[in-house]
Homo-oligomer: A and B are copies of this chain.
């Protein structure tokens, strides 16, 4: 009875904490600055460390913070816009600031979801090329590109072991193909162990999974599954510059 009848919707502590911290980040901290450690922050706000961590996790999810084990928690820079919906760097391994780099390639049977898109069966291994997308020294995305043998007929003789040279050969053959279109989708996922290593994150970190289906010669020529760091990336679609084209 002593309790006031207000506060009938008691906001969770971690939620309130999050907004307080968020405001503090805006007004009192600069990008890159290191926050006090979790134990001290928890003490300062009078909550258990687990509760404080719940707030920090959300802020990290929103791209406001960056946490690294053994180092500390820092204020993250604004998310970078990453073009995903244009054809500019499709197969080329350009040397610009934002470019894909081959890692290696093996021959393997793709996961069921990819098999469905490629319309292949469990007996058909495909070329599986791993690439990374790097910008300003930061890894943005890790990609697995699935190419059925039918899309790269010139590669039949080259059935040596996997590796970087092989990956480049697949891409070279692929670039000969005439593409007619493509479909893309974006969904939330968590990083597999191998992707996490590539992205410099812990396994399970939130990622944006971009699945691209390349269509050429009336068939699905290839499927790419790219996982982008959800904390640092804002994926951009549509024609940047299309504005001027259409307006002019």
A: residues with CB less than 8 A from B are: 15, 18, 58, 61-63, 79, 81, 85, 180-190, 203-204, 206, 208, 215, 218, 230-231, 233-240, 242-243, 245-247
Contact = CB atoms under 8 A, between A and B. Distances in A.
Given A204-B15, A206-B206, A247-B218, A184 B236 contact: yes
Contacts of A18: 204
A15 B231 CA distance: 20
A39 to B, nearest CB: 19
12 contacts: A79-B187, A85-B85, A180-B246, A181-B238, A182-B238, A183-B242, A185-B237, A186-B237, A187-B230, A188-B206, A188-B208, A237-B237
A172 B248 CA distance: 27
Contacts of A240: 183
A54 to B, nearest CB: 9
A231 to B, nearest CB: 8
A21 to B, nearest CB: 13
- Residue of A18, A182, A186, A239 ringed by the most chain B CB atoms within 10 A: A186
Contact of A188 (B81, B230, B242): B230
Contacts of A246: 180-181, 215
Given A85-B238, A206-B188, A183 B243 contact: yes
A218 to B, nearest CB: 5
Given A180-B246, A183-B240, A185-B236, 17 more contacts: A18-B204, A61-B190, A62-B189, A79-B187, A85-B237, A180-B243, A181-B239, A181-B242, A181-B243, A183-B236, A183-B242, A185-B234, A185-B235, A187-B208, A215-B243, A215-B247, A218-B247
Contacts of A185: 81, 234-237
